[in-house]
Amino acid sequence: MSTEDHPDWWNPVGGANSQDSTLERRSTIWNDGDPTPGDAPPISLTGADYYGKFFTRGCRGMISSIQIYCIRTAAGNLDLSFSPHPCLGPLYTVTVTPGAAWAWAAANFRQMWNYDSLFIWVSRCDVDVSWGYDQDTPPDGHRSPDGGATWIHRIDRMYIRVYSRGETPGDVPVSGIINNVPIPNMSSHHVEDNVDVPMGVLTLISEVEGAGYVDLVIMAVIQTASSQVTGFQFHADGVLCWEWSPFDMSNWGMNDDTQPMSLLVYAEDDWCVIMCTKKWEFRRHFEIYALNNFAPVRVYTRMYPNMMR
């Protein structure tokens, strides 16, 4: 076939049409009043957290930095957390340090973001830090009254910007149900805690925040009176999903070979060790609690969460 036989888009050496689909895009993702540094924003909040901003499309690429228009009067700072949408816990969190005058303050990130959408919220804000917003259109503001469990839309827009590079030219929208292969976007780490549990007090022992799953948990009660009746609880996104004590597991015939709930060590008033290899999924956080109604105890936990990244 001669070059004359090829359609207009054919260009094997990378002409203009080819470059449009292969070269990276670099852009600022924003929706705000474009304030002049030094000028106060139309509206601001001080020491306020769990307010967010939602960019629904075109965010896949490498995030260079995230900026928020803010100011501080002392030495405070704030945290910005982000995830693909408001129903997930944070995949990442960055800390922003404001200046003494109103300006854009940035936190460098420099990592790939594998999702088309991006939800950013103030997850922590010191009492001397203020950040700006307005009530112009189009609104994209959100507010959570319960620490990120649910989000309510607001008729405003926070002054948050994202600087990106390596963006894709655009993703093909898909509707309906399709077969898919999960992208390997999980990273595993372990969380280890050693906590005193007062008698009769349900005590938080260990927790992980974000979205993912836990498929290995080891819990131990250190040698003490009534150690065997120490109850453990798993909470996924605030919902109780598992509750056992070494005593109950022993009564039900569980031992060191009963997967996925194994009683590795059991003795009254002595060491008791439980291992759980069941997969527990969560969107915002996973927590382990302990309770002993008969004596104070000391418990040890180790878990291996696999977090979305």
Residue 15 has pLDDT above 60, yes or no: no
Side-chain-side CA neighbours of residue 269 (13 Å): 1
CATH number of domain containing 208: 2.60.120.1390
Per the structure, the count of domains in the chain is: 2
**C-alpha R_g of the chain:** 25
One domain for residues 64 and 91: yes
- For a pLDDT cut of 70, what percent of the chain falls above it? 86
**Average pLDDT in the 14-24 region?**
60
Q: Cα(45)–Cα(229) distance, rounded to whole angstroms?
A: 48
Residue 3 has pLDDT above 70, yes or no: no
One domain for residues 91 and 149: yes
One domain for residues 154 and 64: yes
101 vs 177: which has the higher pLDDT: 101
**Coil, helix or strand for 228?**
helix
Residue 156 lies in a domain: yes
CATH number of domain containing 37: 2.60.120
Residue 22's pLDDT band (cuts 50, 70, 90): confident
Q: Tell me which of 136, 167, 198 is where a domain ends.
A: 167
One domain for residues 154 and 194: no
Q: And the tokens for 76?
A: 């405070």
pTM: 0.72
Place of tokens 């769990």: 50
Residue 2 has pLDDT above 60, yes or no: no
Q: And the tokens for 239?
A: 């919902």
CA distances, 119 to each of 193, 206, 267 (Å): 31, 26, 49
One domain for residues 150 and 25: yes
Residue 3 lies in a domain: no
Place of tokens 């050496």: 13
Residue 2 lies in a domain: no
Question: By CB neighbour count within 10 A (0-12 exposed, 13-18 middle, 19+ buried), where does 176 fall?
Answer: exposed
**Structural domain boundaries, residue 231:** 186-308
